[in-house]
Amino acid sequence: MSFKVTILGSSGAMPAYGRHPSAQLVEIQNRYFMIDCGEAAQMQLMRLDVSYHRINHIFISHLHGDHYLGLMGLIFTMHLQRRTNDLHLYSHRGLDEIITTQLRYSQSSPSFRIIFHRLEKDERKIIFEDDAVTVETIPLRHKIRCSGFLFREKPKQKRIDKDKLPAGILIQQIASLKRGEDVLDENGNVKYKNEDHTLPARKSRSYAYCSDTAIQPTMVDQIKGIDLLYHEATFATDEESKANDTLHSTAAQAAIIAKMANVSKLLLGHFSARYKDLAPILEEAKPIFPNVQLALEGDEFTLQE
C-alpha cells in the first residue's frame, strides 16, 4: 500500500533559482494530503501531473506567505472545475478570515464546502484520524504560531498466509485471524490457531514535516524512531546566527534532531535564496546524520512497508 511524499517546493521565504515555496503532497493508502501550499503550488501539481481533485485535507504549518499563498488559487481552480467534495483546511487562526475575505470580494461561492480546523499554539494533538491514518501536530518554534505534522499509519492487521488458508474457512473467521485471534469451534476449543495461519502485520510507516522552526529538541520524543523526517534547513552553519535570529535551522541542527530522534531518513528543505548551490547544505548534515537527502521539486520519497 502506498506511502509517498512528493516535493512541490523546496524554497525558503523567497522563490529563487527555479525553487518554489513550500508545498508537499503526502499519499498514504490512497488518501491524498497536502502540507503547506506556497505560491504556484497548483502549477507545480499540474507540472508534475499530480491530481489535486483527490486532495481533501490541506495542513498549513503557519501563516507566513511562503507556506500558504498558493491556497487561494488552488481553491479557485477547484471551484472552476466544479469540485463537490468537502475540503478540510487545518491552520492556526486567521486562515478562515484570509480565505473568506477573498471569496467575498471576488463574489465567489465555492462549489464545495470548506471546513476550517483551527490549530492551537504549542499543542500536540491528533487533528485527523480515520481507520488507517492519524495526523498529529508537532509544536515548532518560529516567529509566529507554527506546527509541524506527524503522519502515522495505524497498526495494521496480521496478514493471512494464503498457503495455509484452511478449506471452508468463513469470512468472519478470516477477520478474527487478521485481528490476531484464534478461531474457536462451537465447544470453545481452538480450531485454527492464529500463528499457524497468519503472517505478521506489515509495519506502520510514519512521516514528520517540521518547517519552519528553530532547532527544537522538545520534538525529539514525539518523532522518535519515525521512518522519514523532513526538517527545514534554511541555512548552513556559516549563517547560524542568522538562523537563530530568524528562528530557522541550519542543516547541522536538522541533522542533530534526526540523530537524537533516531529516525530512519532525513530530508532537508526550505532553502534560503542565498544558496544557489545546495551542496554545502547537504554536506554539513552528512557527517552528523548520513542518511540524508535534499528534498527538491519533483522528488518522490516512497516508504516501504
Quick note: the x/- pattern for its own copies over 167-186, rule CB under 8 A, is: --------------------
Strand partners, 287: none
Residue 297, interface with its own copies (CB under 8 A)? no
* Position 221, amino acid: D
Among 36, 66, 212, 284, binds its own copies (CB under 8 A): 66
Distance CA 154, CA 149 (A): 15
Q: How far is the CB of 202 from its own copies (least distance, A)?
A: 39
Q: Which one among 42, 206, 234, 250 touches its own copies, defined by CB under 8 A?
A: 42
In the complex, what is the shortest distance from the CB of residue 46 to its own copies, in angstroms, rounded to a whole number? 7
Alpha-carbon span 250 to 142, nearest angstrom = 14
- Per CB under 8 A, the list member of 1, 2, 14, 113 interacting with its own copies is 14
Q: Per CB under 8 A, does 270 bind its own copies?
A: no
66 annotated active-site? yes
Give me the catalytic one of 66, 163, 238, 245.
66
CA 228/CA 258 separation, integer angstroms: 9
Radius of gyration from C-alpha coordinates of the chain: 22
- Residue positions counted in the chain: 305
Give long-range contacts, CB 8 A cutoff, 24+ apart: 195-199. 196/164, 197/160, 197/161, 197/164, 197/165, 197/166, 198/158, 198/159, 198/160, 198/161, 199/158, 199/159, 199/160, 199/161
Q: Binding to its own copies by residue 227, rule CB under 8 A?
A: no
Map residue 223 onto helix, strand or coil.
Answer: helix
Number of residues forming the site for its own copies (CB under 8 A): 38
Residue with cell 508534475: 48
Q: Which of residues 85-104 bind its own copies (CB under 8 A)?
A: 93-95, 97-98, 101-102, 104
**Nearer CB in complex with its own copies: 10/198:** 10
Q: Which helix (H) or strand (E) holds 55?
A: strand 55-59
Applying CB under 8 A, does 121 fall inside the site for its own copies?
no
| Known binding-site residue numbers for Zn(2+) | 62, 64, 66-67, 142, 212, 270
| Interface positions with its own copies (CB under 8 A) | 13-16, 18, 20-21, 39-40, 42-43, 46-47, 63-66, 69-70, 72-73, 76-77, 80-81, 93-95, 97-98, 101-102, 104-107, 143-144
